[in-house]
Structure formats: structure tokens, C-alpha cells
Structure 1
């Protein structure tokens, strides 16, 4: 309901337009069409089974879907059904290794993530203040330490009290809620909720299981005797016609990060923007006006920015690299803007798994033309003549760094045997998209960029203190949102508040632009005309703060052990930092270039 309130007007407008042009039929967004289920023997074309398929975004995120041994048929309740038995022999080294791995998973709070009808099976439990939290996953077990301290999920049961003991959640009670179409003109039923309750039950016989009461399934910290774990499950179906299919995610999303914190983040960012806007307005309307009046006096000696007004249009050092970075930054900026806009309209909701990453990758591939155009036009403005090198670097340099990093991370996943490793065929497909579509489009954009006649001009100043300070305020606008984004990537939480993210995105652009304008003016007043790289690095330095925050998050929030996991975390973080560096660095530099090359003079 909260998301509807935030975007009700936009949603109403979109549906009004759709209704106008398609008044004779309704439609669903791609990947979000409902599936109706019928009882065995009563199916048909309008009652089909759904088996989720993986798209490009899911594969890139390492989200692999596999069928489980838990068999569920619509409206067929199951009580204490045995699934399998896992036996561990004391003298078998392979069994010892497998049991140690299971213990490590419980100690690190590893989670099961199950899907039914493309929605997560959630574990809902009570928290403080009478609130209910629904987690889209549940732990494989928990641990009571040698000093008697119950960790993680072990706090839910007072029977979990034996020291130096692991408790396996080997039984789940699954409840599936459905909305019947009997009174609404469509056959079958649609699933609107799927919850479970994990339990630890010690079974003695797979053929005679009892899931009521009993002692917990204990795994001693010391492996001194043979061990058998019997896994069971129960399923119940419940009809609830008050929950519509379109609202079936509401009970999950209400447990996600609170909107009060999000509004605090927005207000914090707005205060920063207003502060910067006031400073820029003061400079432009007061200080600059006085400067111009003083400089217009006949006998006034030139000083400050007036002293270097003839030098600000000089080409920068390493203009080739700067033009390449700005071209790639333009590509990322447009991709980010369109992706967030579509997410705000609901096209990229969490229900459409992998859609966000798929959309971003496809947009990046198709936006090679703006990157080539911006890079070529800037390079020509700088008086550059190596146009072939410029186009090749624009098409290959930054994407090549990202792909090399990504390939190295994937190589580690292959070596570790992780299911998150991307198949070789998918890597080939990504290369085909890159070289087959993005690179040619970059050449097309570069052709028009070099063809357009421009006059060379320039504008950039001095080093480190201004650059370091320039990134602080933009980072202050995003760090709260960054916390939730990192949680969604590394801590099994779901991110869905794209409206807040879009607002922060706009605020970030304004903040980067105003901070860069402010610092460029100060440096020109110091009679330093080297503005090109400074304008790029001033806002681009925000990425350094992002990296520092990611390091802090790693040590304070995550419990990652092992060299491979650490390398993977920082490897993927470096990809994020590079992309963010190009995006924020581009935020204003090209805008200033457009102004100067169209005749703006101080």
C-alpha cells in the first residue's frame, strides 16, 4: 500500500494511457503475468504449471533456480512427509568433510531461499513492538556456543540449550495461501502467499515420522559417533480471497527497510542541496556581479578569474583519456537514468527477478552511440588527431577493465565450485553483445562526433584538497541509501524502494554539479585555468568515499571468512566503484563543455 501511495499518480496516468490505446483488452508487464493453478486432473490451457526460467540478470547475479525434492500439488495437504535421509559415518573422511561444511553453514547463518510461483517462501516471526518480520529465506540451522550462548535462530526455542551443539532445521511447515477465481470468472486459483516455519525434530525412522513435539535434531560440536538426519515437511493450503494477486508482495515488502529512515535520508540530502544552492546563488548573484563591475572599471588591474579568462579554453593534459572517461560516463549516466525511471514505474519490481540487471545491461549495450559521440566531440575539441585510438579506447578501455575484473571473480567461483559461477556460454553471449552491438554503435557515434565542427576551448584547475572536499557532500546525500543497497546485495534483503532511489539520484546529480561549479569558481579566482580534470575528479572522488564505506561495511556488518570470499567482495566492489566514478565524474564536466563550446564567456 505504501508504494501505491508514493506513485499513485504516475501509475494512474500510465494505466489511463494504456486503457485509452488498448481499451478492448488488459495486459500484464513482462514476467509478471499471473499463473492459475488447478487440482490434479482438472487442469487445462488456462490452468498451467509454471517453472521459472533464468534471464540474463539472474545469471549475472548468480541467482540459479533448481528444482527441490519437496513435492507440492495444488490443494493437496501433506503431513510430515519424509524427503530424504543424510547419514554421516564417523570413520568416513568424505562424510566428516560434508558434516564440517554443514556445521560451518549453521555457524555463519547460511540461508535457504525457496521459490513457489516466482515468489519467495518466507519465514515470518514476531519481533519487538508487536511487529511481524517476514524474511525471504530461513537458516539451515543454528549454534549454541561452548559458553551456552544461543546464536541467531537458536534464540527462538528454549530447548536449544545444550552447549557446543548445532541444531539442524530438518523440518518445515509450509502454508500456501491462494485466491480462488470461482466467483471472478476465471478458472483455478492464484497463489498470494507462501510462508513456512522451520523446526528441528529428531526422527528415528524415515518410514514412521512424527512431527509433533519430540526432541530437537542435535549435531554435536565434536563428531564422536555416526549421525543420521531425516528431512521432512508438511504442507497446508488456505483460501483467502481478500488478498489480490497484484498485492501478494505487500506482506513481504512491509518488512523491508522502514520508509521513515528513507525520508530521513531524503531530507538529509535536500538540506545539503539547499546549502550548496545557496552558496552557488550567492556567488553568481552577488560576488560575481561585484567582480564584473570592478573589472569593468577603466584603470582596474586584472586579477582573480579575469586574469586567466584567456587561458580557460586551453586543451587539458591527457585529453584523450579524459574524453574517453566522459564518453563512458555519459553512457552510464543515461543507462542509470532510464533504468531508475522504469523501476519507479514498476517495470523492474522485485517480482520480476533479474529484470533490473537485464535492463541495465541491454541499455548499456544500446547506448554506445552517445558514448562515441561525446568522446569524439571532446577529443576533436582538444585538437586530437588519433581518432581511431580514441574510438577504440572509448569502446574497449572501461568495459575491458570491468570484464577482466568480472572474469577474474568468476574464475574464483569456478575454482570454488560455486553455483553462482556464470556459465561459459553466458560469458560468450556478453562478449557478443559487447563487440557485436556496443562497439559498432560507438563507432557510429564517433563518426558524427568527429564530423561536427567545434571550436576548441577548455576549463580546469588545481589538485588534491579541493577534489577531496568535493566528494564529501555528494557522498553525504547517498550513504543511507548505499547502506540499504549493500544490504540487498550481501545480506539477503530485498530492495524495492526505487522511488526513493530515483529522488536520491536526482539530488546526487544536483549536488555533484553544484560542488563542481563552486570549486571551479574558487580555482579560477586563484588564477588557475586547469579545470578539465578537476571538474571530473571533484565529483568523481565520491567513488573513493563509496569504496571506504564498502570497506567499513565489510568489517562491521559482514561475517566473511576465507580468501576467495574476500577477493570476490572487493572484486565486485571495485566494479561498482569504477562505474560510480565514471558516472559522477561525468555529471557536470560535459555540461560545462557544452556551455563553453557554444560561446559562454565569463
Structure 2
């Protein structure tokens, strides 16, 4: 008996321990501590993946016949990296700290017809090669015509395609010579240096040499002793069958004033930075102004209504009730498909908790971009943990609707949303696997995701539901009549479909500017690390969803329509419809995707994102309306 009495304390301890382990695992940043290098220390370059904004299908670096080391070794990867399609491996590119190299030969190949075809396909699809040095990604600097400062692109192109004779003849040239620049910040006292930049300029070079090839042969067009670095402008290397190809590289070391703590600033810089900041501030001011007006109007109107209703009661006037007070006997009547509403509200709380905690940690700087896959890993683990709150919320709401089968509602909460997302993800992964892309999630990782779902998330949902259902039922502020009241004919602008679609415009307007930069970072392979402003936008979204739902709910009740439960959820949740439309607009105006599989991947993943956004915003609107109705009906005197 004593143990049973202490069960809530045991559950709290388990929850706290689970939360600690989850946060520690999700936000642990391996390998981000600074490394000191002295002159002559070996620097090993790692290859990451071949990526293209045209196909959105990543491939392993060694899927092309590039130079390979004696033994290919995979680096340890976290769950987020695997889901992103990252495959980090060692490479034959090796430097020595602060010791320049010129025209170092990596390997010598004779391309077969199959190799040439593979290279040409990757050049057609605009694939770029990604590498890493000391946890810094390789970038290629270039200068835009409309900007004075340099802009950096991730990786370098596999090659270039040139059109001849009015586009009738095409020639392909491979980038086989890489001019690396390693920037370092030197400590004058210890002579140690830290790497703060990793840049490259690729060239297509037709190397020349005398005699037969051997490992010690000297290239006549690139003499390191004469310190003459080849540029490749005069004799590019064309891709042809049975063509000889020599891969070479140069390394130059440059001392930089950039400190190690600021070395990621180059990668996080956005080309449209001023436009980005101005747009966010402008959106913030507009939404805050509208929110202030809506709040002021609602407070004044409600204060007048409540004062009038209470005054009528005190004077005992025999006047007929009008407005929202008239439906007090039906406003808390359980809705149709109340089980499904409980499931979606619980899932929305799960999404809200996951996003809120992740965003707080990211805004505080815990999710460093140097921890590749850290953001996705954090989202997954927090989603699993937040199943506790999903079960608790759905069970509490289910009991308020006089439900008795709490295990049934628990199973729906644990499997409906994750099941839909996993099904779509499984189909998309099958398409990626069919393209033989490294972005396909391996069977072991897929099995790990299923284990996280069934062995951790589902039990936590059950624990939350058990605790929530044991709590006393939420009491309604007014009694519900046995016979439902007939709803009068509504004006055209109070039509449910019209009102729901109108309600989603303002929440979408609060985030669509930020959405552009998020889509750009995801589909154009750029870093996104402005989580401080994203957190402000998230707060604006919460306020906007709550206020627009309350306003439309108030108008609905004033029209004597008491079916507000589902409409409050769908009003703010309809913003997901506009999000998906904007995603389609972005696809046709900003992206250059032509392959059907790539298009299916884009719309599949955006469908998952829009579905999650629907659940999130719908739950915010529902709870805002739920608290609003309880507040106003508990503020008036009702016989």
C-alpha cells in the first residue's frame, strides 16, 4: 500500500531521469572542442557526400570513380546524420599543417565508358562534392554581381558542361585539380594554430608528362619545384571513353584574424541578410499591431456583454436572452468524433512540447551547426519523450467527454499521427532506395526508429494516459441540456468552410517570410541558424493562432452556433493548407527539380511538414478557444 501511495513520486523521478537522458543525448556535441595544430601535424580530409539541389538525392562520394585510400573507413554518425543522407568517410587527401603543397598527385585513372557515363550524369544533375576538414565543411568562394562581399557555396561541382554549335554539341569537363586554401588562427605564445576556414577552387586540367606513367613521374605542365601552379584555363580535361585522368591538388595556408569561436560565421552568413532581418521585423510589428487591436476590441466587447448579462440578472428583467449566453446549455456538449479530437489535441501537445524545447535549446546556442544532425536527433528524441504529455492530455480531454475506454484512446494517440508519418516516410525511403541513393535510410536505422516508437514512445503515452485518466474529470462551468438546441440559419460569412479558411490566413502570414528561409536552407543546402528570430516568430504564431481563433469563436457563439469544438481546431489548423500551397509555389518558382522521384520526395516531405503544422496550430487554437469559452461562461450568472 505504501508503494502504491508513492507511485506518483516514482513516476516523477522516472520522468525527470528520462528527460535528463534525452536532453543529454540529443544535445551532446561530439567533436566540437577546439584542436591545436603545430607545424607539420597531419591534417586528414574527410569526404561527405555528393549533393544536388536539382535532384535532392545524395550519393556517397565513392559512388563515382574518384581516388580511394587503401581502406575506406566510415566515420561514426548520429541518427540525424543518417536520416539526412550524410556518409562521412576518409579520403586520400592529406595535408601537413602550414606546409604548402603544389600539384600533389592523388591517383591516376583510365576512364571506362561506364565511368564517363556516371560522371556525365552527375554533371548534368549539377552535383557538388562535399568535404570536411577539422569538422569544417568545404566551401567555394565566388563574387556575385549584385554584391561587394564574397558568397560561399558548399562543396565544388563535379564538372562543367559546355554547349557548342547552337547547343547541338555538348562537351563535359571534369574538375580534377583542386586548389585548397586552409585558413588558420595562430597563437603567438605557443605557436599552435587552429583551423578557421577551408576553401577550394576547382579546375579542369589536362595534365601532361613524359614517358610512361609511374608513381614518381613529374608532370610537365605543373612543376612544384618551379612553384608554378596550374590554372587549367588553357587545357581543360574533356570526359571521353578510355581517357586518361590524373587527380591532383594544391594546398595553401593563410593566417587569419578570425578566431576559432567565430569560424562558423562564414557558413552561417546569408546573402539576403538585410532583407531577411527587415522582413522579420516588419512582420513582427504588423502582427503585434494587429494582435493589440484584436485584444483591445475583444476585451471591450466582452466586458460590455458580461456587464449587460449580469445587470439583467440582478434586475430580474424578463427579457429574452440573446447572443452567446443563449447557447450556454449546449456550448459544452461533446462534439462529433470526440475521440479523434482528443487524439489530435494530444498529438498537438506532443508537437508543441518538442518544438518549444528544441527551439529554446537552439536559441541558447546548444545546437551548434558543427554537430551535424544534432537538430534532427534532438527533434526525434524529444518527440519520443513528449509522448508522456500526449497521453496525459488526450486522456484528460477524453474523460471530460465522459469517455470510459482510456486504453483505446491511448492506442490511437500512440499510433495515428506517427503511423501516418512513418507510412509516408517509408514510401519515400523506398523511392530513394530505388534510386540507389545514400539518402536511403538503412534497415538498421529504420529498425532503431521503430524501436524508439514502440519501446519508448508508446509506453510513455500509456503512462501519461494512465496518470491523466486517474485525475478527476474537468467540470464544465455550466450544465448541458439533455436536448440539443436547434442552430438558426447562419449568414454567408459564418459558413464553416469560409470561416475556417479565413482563420488560417493570419497565422500563415506570421510565418511565411521565415518559411522562405527555412525552405531555402533545406532544399538549397544552406545553413539556417537564426533560432533567436525563429523563436520570436514562433511566439507570434502562438499569439496569432490564439487570437484569431478566439475572435471567430466569439462571432460563432454570438450567432447562436455552439458547434465550436472542431471549428476551433480547424480554424487555426487551416494555416497548414496555405503552407502547403506556398510550398508548391516555392517548388515551381525557386527550384529546378525535373525528376519525378525528386518531385515526389519534395511534396512528400512537405506533406509531412504541413501535417505536423496542422496538428500544432490546431491544438494552439483549440486550447485558446477552450479557455476562452470556460472563462466567459463562468463569468455570467446563469439559472
Structure 1: distance between partners of 2:120 and 2:196: 34
Please tell me whether residue 199 in structure 1 is matched to residue 203 in structure 2: yes
Determine the structure 1 residue equivalent to 2:439: 420
List per-residue Cα deviations over 1:246-305 (Å, max 9, x = no partner).
Answer: 111123323454044233223224312321331232132136515752684424322221
C-alpha separation in 1, matches of 2:630 and 2:463: 22
**1:79·1:235 contact (CA, 8 Å) conserved in 2?**
yes
SS of corresponding position for 1:373: helix
Matched, 1:268 2:287: no
| Whole-angstrom distance in 2 between the partners of 1:409 and 1:134 | 31
Cα distance 1:324–1:31, how it changes in 2: closer, same or farther (>3 A)?
Answer: farther
Using the TM superposition, give the Cα deviation of residue 116 of structure 1 relative to its aligned residue in structure 2, in angstroms: 0.7
Residues 1:57 and 2:57 are matched in the alignment:
no
SS across alignment from 1:114: strand
Answer whether contact 1:109 1:139 (CA < 8 A) is retained.
yes
Describe the SS at the equivalent of 2:617: helix
Conserved in 2, the CA contact under 8 Å of 1:126 and 1:133?
A: yes
Q: Say if 2:610 is the partner of 1:577.
A: yes
Conserved in 2, the CA contact under 8 Å of 1:192 and 1:243? yes
- Taking structure 1 as the reference length, the TM-score comes to 0.84
Q: How far, CA to CA, are the matches of 2:238 and 2:516 in structure 1?
A: 36
Match of 1:491 in 2: 524
Residue 289 of structure 1 pairs with residue 304 of structure 2:
yes
Deviation at 1:137, TM superposition (A): 2.0
For residues 270-419 of structure 1, what are the structure 2 equivalents within 5 Å?
Answer: 270-286=285-301, 289-290=304-305, 292-293=307-308, 296-297=311-312, 298-419=317-438
Residues in 2 aligned to 1:332 and 1:276: alpha-carbon distance in whole angstroms: 24
Matched, 1:510 2:543: yes
Q: 1:237 aligns with which of 253, 257, 280?
A: 253
Matching of residue 131 in structure 1 with residue 149 in structure 2: yes
What is the root-mean-square deviation of aligned Cα atoms in Å?
2.8
| 1:68 counterpart SS class | strand
CA contact (8 A) 2:287 2:540 kept: no
The equivalent of 2:582 in structure 1 is 549
Between stretches 502-511 and 124-133, larger displacement belongs to: 124-133
Distance, in Å, in 2 between the alignment partners of 1:42 and 1:55 is 26
Distance 1:103 1:41 in 2: 37
Structure-2 change in CA distance of 1:129 and 1:591 (3 Å)? closer
**What secondary structure is seen at the aligned counterpart in 2 of 1:574?**
helix
2:31 and 2:394 mapped to 1: Cα distance? 36
The whole-number CA distance in structure 2 between the counterparts of 1:179 and 1:383 is 67
Could you tell me how far apart the structure 2 residues matched to 1:595 and 1:304 are?
A: 16
Where does residue 33 of structure 2 map in the other structure? 33
More deviation in 414-423 or 73-82?
Answer: 73-82
Q: Where do residues 98-247 of structure 1 align in structure 2 (5 Å cutoff)?
A: 98-127=115-144, 128-146=146-164, 164-181=170-187, 183=189, 188-205=192-209, 207-209=217-219, 210=222, 211-214=229-232, 215-219=234-238, 226-240=242-256, 242-247=257-262
Shift of 1:306: 2.0
Unmatched segments (≥5 aa) in structure 1: 1-27, 44-49, 150-161
Is the partner of 2:244 in helix, strand or coil? Answer: strand
1:81 to 1:600, Cα distance in 2 relative to 1, 3 A:
farther
CA distance in 1, matches of 2:413, 2:246: 58
Kindly indicate whether the alpha-carbon contact (under 8 Å) linking 1:86 and 1:228 is maintained by their aligned counterparts in 2: yes
Q: Secondary structure at the match of 1:399?
A: helix
Tell whether the 8 Å contact from 1:382 to 1:457 is kept in structure 2 after alignment. no
Higher mean displacement: 417-426 or 583-592: 583-592
Q: Is the 8 A contact 2:182 2:199 kept in 1?
A: yes
Task: Sort the Cα spacing of 1:78 and 1:41 in 2 relative to 1 into closer, same or farther, 3 A.
Answer: closer
Evaluate the alpha carbon distance shift between residue 577 and residue 146 of structure 1 in structure 2; reply closer, same or farther with a 3 A threshold: farther
| Equivalent position SS for 1:130 | coil
Give the match for residue 11 of structure 1.
Answer: none
SS in 1 for 2:96: coil
Residues 492 and 42 of structure 1: CA distance in aligned 2, closer, same or farther (over 3 Å): closer
| Separation in 1, partners of 2:319, 2:108 | 92
Counterpart in the other structure of 1:67:
90
Q: Distance in 1 between matches of 2:460 and 2:361?
A: 23
- The equivalent residue for 1:9 is none
Residues in 2 aligned to 1:363 and 1:61: alpha-carbon distance in whole angstroms: 18
Counterparts in 2 of 1:509 and 1:238: CA distance versus 1, 3 Å: same
TM-score (norm 2): 0.79
Asked if 2 retains the 8 angstrom alpha-carbon contact of 1:471 and 1:539, the reply is: yes
User: In the superposition, relative to structure 1, how do residues 139 and 317 fare at CA in structure 2: closer, same or farther (>3 Å)?
Assistant: same
The alignment of Structure 1 onto Structure 2 pairs a total of residues equal to 545
TM-superposed CA distance for 1:78, in Å, is: 1.7
SS at match of 2:91: coil
Moved over 4 A (4+): 28-31, 39-43, 146-149, 456-462, 594-599
Rate the CA distance shift 1:256–1:340 in 2: closer, same or farther, 3 A.
farther
